[in-house]
Structure 1
Amino acid sequence: MPAFDAMIRAPSTGFARRMRRCLAVLFLTAIWAMPGLAEPQATPEMKAIAKAGFAPEDIGFVLIDLDDGRALAEQTADALFIPASVAKLAVVYPAQQLLGADYKFQTRLYRSGDTLYLKGGGDPVLTNIELRDLALQVQALQPKGGWKAFFYDAGATGSVPEVSNDQPIQATYNAGVDALSVDFNRIQVNWSRDEEGKLAFHARAVADGLNVPADWVQFMPAESETPPGANFLFAGDGSDESWLYASDLPESLPEEGAIFLPVKQPALNTARVFRALAQRNGIALPEPQEGMVPPDAVLAGTVESPPLAEVMTGLLKFSNNMTAELIGMATSRKLTGQVLGPPESSAALGDWLRQHLSYVDWTGFKLVNHSGLSSESRASPRQIAAVLMAMAREPVLAGMLNKIMGDDPKAEAAAKSGTMDFACGLGGFLTAKSGKRLAFAIFLLDREKRSALDASFDRRVLAPTPGARNWLGRAHALENTLLKSWRERF
């Protein structure tokens, strides 16, 4: 193109400069219009996203080579998404670093004269079995006149009646959290018609082969019609666990049924379960009262949780929110020396991550609790990938994630998932067919639909949001498509 070359070399007059700009534009336009160069080459990821029916801004991901830290594939990796339960990874890593894999939670009994104290240590996996074993340790210590008072002390952690106030009240995954928590803070409820044709309810605390009637849980018919999908409404206060049940057609309960309901006063409920178990073993205790263990009290019994590594493996497998909150609060107490509630505790661990993984930009990272059960929490794919890279250096953590793809023994994936209506995520490790070790974080979010849901959400209703199931099905299918593509290509 001699004319073009000549113009490029021409003296820099005003006319020449204008002509050079015009010719350059025409030249580049002609090149762009040539066959095969009409558009930038679409990546396999872009094709998969389009095929799944998502907009590019709905998804963010990053794929990291664990050997050298390079990003092999990414899209909007610094955009903020709702992490849901993937946020639990941001609890597991600090907990292992600060508490240690061998850390054990303790629940203790103290005595002072004829008074007995049950003190919680935040054990997230405490069951009726351990409470019975604890009661047996004081069987031979009963005062001659019997126990005159029984107190429970849950001051070792923060306390909340539910994990999140923007989630259904009736959901068992939204139970209360306290230093004394038993059987994952849920109560099994059965009902049927009695001889008079009235609904009769029976509640019990359940464990492996050791169930305790929870007759302190009360049920009353709702005086007004409940909204569709709201069969039970919490009506308790700080001293009881009471529920209203739907009694008007068309939202009345069936003739018989069973359900689990969340406990909203965990410490009091745990103390009552302990009292019932103690009575089964010949130990009569008065109704429990809240109170701190005095300095002169003597240790009378102790039960311990399994090591933290085992508890966290269960957390990543079953994703229990209460467990995440108690582990997180124990970790922040070790870090700060203070008893913090879930929001403050989560913020403290977020600050710790910023300091210890400072090579990543943590702008916008926000967890309002440790479980991820909130639409207000935010994290980017690159931030979660940084946590995964740190976990990969710790053998005890790297093996905790659940396998999600193992059809080829040389190419498998293990990950933590997170799901909310119109928001989901997946973070974990992938071994490609080449043998390369990879870390990945994938998030999807329909911001418009999620915002609309938050604005109109009725916490009394447990039923799923219309359209959410289909959206999540497409999102999970896309996650799987990306993982399969990555293990083949890298």
Structure 2
Amino acid sequence: MNRGLSRRHFLLSLAASGLASAAAPTLAEAPERSLRPLGRGDNVALRTLDTPEELIAKARLGDGIVGYAVLSAATGKLLESHRGTLGLPPASVAKSLTAAYGLDLLGPDYRFSTELWTTGAIVGGELKGDLVLVGGGDPTLDTDGLAKLARSLEEVGIKSITGRFIVDGGVLPYSPVIDTEQPVHVAYNPAVAGINLNYNRVSFEWEKAGDGYEVSMDAPSMAGRQAVRMAHMAVADRNGPIYTYDDLNGRDAWSVAKHALGKGGSRWLPVRKPELYVGEVFQALAGSKGLQLPEPVIEHGVERVDFIGRVESEPLHVVLKDMLKYSTNLTAELVGLTATRKRLGHALSIKQSAEEMNTWARESMGLTHVAMVDHSGLGGDSRVAAADVALAVLQAERRLNLKPLMKPITVLDKRGRPVKDTSLKVHAKTGTLNFVSGLAGYVDLPSGEELVFAIFCGDVPRRDAIPIEARERPPGMMEWNTRAKMLQQDLIRRWGDLFPEGKGLEAVGLPGVTPTTQTSSGAMAFTGTAEP
């Protein structure tokens, strides 16, 4: 089980400037049904368009709530909405807001870095002091990047050290998980720290051997795999649960139910000790070059003397494009945390940083309906309104050139098949949680005009009723989310027909509104002119 990976396979497996604007466009509430006046010369097909209520009913989302808003990109006017000021969980659509936050605070060319330092001089190949590996919050650092950094030890001639090997990930606060309400074993909910590796995922592989199994816990790279000791897997003869986790003497202790393994396989598991993970892998990489390092020690704020080497991420705009494509939660959290650190001059926890991002969104984007609890949308307690998200992506394109970073979305027909030669081009961010589905972005019309939209569907009570251990694939979730996605497609096609030139009914001003309390439906109600 010491196989190399192609770079494409490795990256895929790890992941799952605009016009200046002096003021935010004016949002407005439009009628629940956009009854476009039809003269004798108008397209008769418009008379047969399904209304929003009819499309929502056809989606069969049960008690799920649908909120959406669509704007003219040219004027910022609201063309159509349905419960557009009602707060719903955004899921990963939240990453579009985080991308804008990062671009605004850090700039598109910002690069994360990971560095090597010493606390003493190198004399005759011997380091008289400590070797310090310092994280800079890079969400994309992988085993190959760490190997490149290890080669800098050879370049400066270090053959032995008298001191300690220190790993410092203290530039950002540590959190053992992103969201506490996720199954323990899901790799999309890893720990977060100032130094991270392989998206804080470890590869668990197993292969049947006689009556038992051979198992490994590795950090993969293009060249091969580095075994890690900080994560251990035990095979247990039990009916359930399938996975258990324990923090045992500062290490990740896993167990798996034997009956679930079959003949063999692999999967990613989350890492809860990122600094130790990075330290062990770097120690092994240095050892392969002939330098035997002591066991890694976790320490923050060590006074450094001499710089040894650095590896950097791609520019932020590249990092964000990958984040929006693969929806990597760790990237979103690290970008958000780093942006807050730049904004305030000091780091905050995930929740506190999300609150700071909310403040930025109100001040910089003119939003009023935003209450995020993280930067990735993984937490189900976050609430945003479709009208605000539509405004945010409009502002982000005008000021920060967000649209080129959004992934293309295939337009589907009513049967779920790609529409051939469609004149609609969609670039957007998807979002999915259990019984929650969102989509927000841009629609290019045949006329050359552009729409900006956000759609959220959520059955929050049904989601909240699922036990945490069953939230990886709960019954009925796939079917519900598929119907929600088809509703999003129906709405996009409707807008293409209804607003072929990005024009709609004249919009009126929308008074400011503020979040209040949770409703029985699980959505957040808003004061002012909020929809019921």
TM range (shorter): 0.7 to 0.9
Q: Deviations over 1:122-175 (max 9, x none)?
A: 000001111111111122445575343101001111111111110111111011
Q: Deviations over 1:85-136 (max 9, x none)?
A: 0011111111101100000001001101231000000000001111111111
1:235 aligns to what?
246
Superposed counterparts of 1:131-280, under 5 Å = 131-141=146-156, 146-194=161-209, 197-222=211-236, 225-227=239-241, 231-237=242-248, 239-247=250-258, 251-280=259-288
Are residues 1:126 and 2:141 paired? Answer: yes
Q: Are the aligned partners of 2:71 and 2:453 in contact in 1 as well (CA < 8 Å)?
A: yes
Q: 1:476 aligns with which of 473, 481, 485?
A: 485
Task: Label 1:238 to 1:328 Cα distance change in 2 as closer, same or farther (>3 A).
Answer: farther
Instruction: Return the offset for 1:59.
Output: 0.5
The one-letter amino acid of 2:354's match is: S
Task: Label 1:105 to 1:382 Cα distance change in 2 as closer, same or farther (>3 A).
Answer: same
CA distance in 2: counterparts of 1:83 and 1:171, whole angstroms:
20
Higher helix share: 1
Structure 2 counterpart SS, 1:121: coil
Task: Label 1:463 to 1:393 Cα distance change in 2 as closer, same or farther (>3 A).
Answer: closer
CA distance in 2: counterparts of 1:216 and 1:291, whole angstroms:
17
Are residues 1:84 and 2:94 paired? Answer: no
Q: Are the aligned partners of 2:406 and 2:427 in contact in 1 as well (CA < 8 Å)?
A: yes
Instruction: Select between 86-95 and 292-301 the one with higher mean Cα deviation.
Output: 292-301
Are residues 1:71 and 2:78 paired? Answer: yes
CA distance in 2: counterparts of 1:390 and 1:179, whole angstroms:
30
Q: 1:441 aligns with which of 436, 440, 454?
A: 454
Are residues 1:418 and 2:431 paired? Answer: yes
Instruction: Select between 260-269 and 132-141 the one with higher mean Cα deviation.
Output: 132-141
Q: Which 4+ runs in 1 deviate beyond 6 A?
A: none
CA RMSD of aligned residues (A): 2.1
Structure 2 counterpart SS, 1:47: helix
CA distance in 2: counterparts of 1:70 and 1:396, whole angstroms:
20
What is the aligned residue count? 436
CA distance in 2: counterparts of 1:394 and 1:208, whole angstroms:
38
CA distance in 1: counterparts of 2:471 and 2:61, whole angstroms:
27
Structure 2 counterpart SS, 1:347: helix
Flag structure 2 segments of 5+ consecutive residues without an equivalent. 1-47, 121-128, 412-419, 500-532
Structure 1 counterpart SS, 2:405: coil
Q: Are the aligned partners of 2:235 and 2:255 in contact in 1 as well (CA < 8 Å)?
A: yes
Q: Are the aligned partners of 1:366 and 1:379 in contact in 2 as well (CA < 8 Å)?
A: yes
Are residues 1:109 and 2:116 paired? Answer: yes
CA distance in 2: counterparts of 1:67 and 1:142, whole angstroms:
60
Q: Are the aligned partners of 1:98 and 1:331 in contact in 2 as well (CA < 8 Å)?
A: yes
Structure 2 counterpart SS, 1:345: helix
Instruction: Return the offset for 1:410.
Output: 4.0
Flag structure 1 segments of 5+ consecutive residues without an equivalent. 1-40
Instruction: Return the offset for 1:77.
Output: 0.2
Instruction: Select between 333-342 and 116-125 the one with higher mean Cα deviation.
Output: 333-342
Using the size of structure 1 for normalisation, the TM-score is: 0.84
Structure 2 counterpart SS, 1:174: coil
Instruction: Return the offset for 1:434.
Output: 2.8
Using the size of structure 2 for normalisation, the TM-score is: 0.78
Q: Which has the larger radius of gyration?
A: 1
CA distance in 2: counterparts of 1:395 and 1:280, whole angstroms:
44
CA distance in 2: counterparts of 1:246 and 1:398, whole angstroms:
45
Task: State the percentage of identical aligned residues.
Answer: 30
Instruction: Return the offset for 1:467.
Output: 1.1
CA distance in 2: counterparts of 1:43 and 1:462, whole angstroms:
34
Task: Label 1:219 to 1:395 Cα distance change in 2 as closer, same or farther (>3 A).
Answer: closer
